[in-house]
Amino acid sequence: SGSSDKPSSTTVASDQPTAAAASSDIRIPLADLSGKAKFFDYKLADNRPMRFFVLKSSDGVYRAALDACDTCYHAKKGYHQEGDDMICNNCGLHFHSAKINEVHGGCNPIGLPRMIEGNELVIKAGELESRGGYF
């Protein structure tokens, strides 16, 4: 049984760096986030670029969303910010920052699950990869 354990532990060890390199989670210091949306570029596993933004909304919640929506993502125009609103660059609709991650569908920004770990906002690479079809 000792010999059957050995190959599996070797395989696990050799797979780990690949997995870690392929799925590097995004970590953003909370101190860098404010009411002004910060846009980030991310390269998908197939090398397609995608964009997302992160902000601290007026109600004090850290929020994250794709720079795309269900309705207008084909246009690849994303959003810009005016005051406390994110505005779809394609259709001009306004979305209050506190609605990000709360309201879904239509021209609402596609929310990204996020967590706070210590003093960083963490977005899992897998969450970005699974939404790559919008880019």
pLDDT reported for residue 23: 56
Residue 14's pLDDT band (cuts 50, 70, 90): very low
Distance CA 9, CA 22 (A): 20
Q: Which residues pair with 27 in a beta bridge?
A: 122
What is the mean pLDDT of the segment spanning 35-40?
A: 96
Q: How far apart are CA 64 and CA 20, in angstroms?
A: 23
With 0-12 CB in 10 A as exposed, 13-18 as middle and 19+ as buried, what is 51?
Answer: middle
Section 48-74 average pLDDT: 95
- Per-residue confidence band for 24, with pLDDT thresholds at 50, 70 and 90: confident
Pair of tokens at residue 72? 């207008």
pTM of structure: 0.82
pLDDT tens figures, 75-130:
999 999 999 999 999 999 999 999 999 999 999 999 999 999 999 999 999 999 99
- Yes or no: say if 45 and 33 are a contact pair by the CB < 8 Å rule: no
Cα separation of the two ends of the chain? 49
User: Which residues are bridge partners to 54 per DSSP?
Assistant: 38, 64
CA atoms lying within 13 Å on the CB side of residue 21: 5
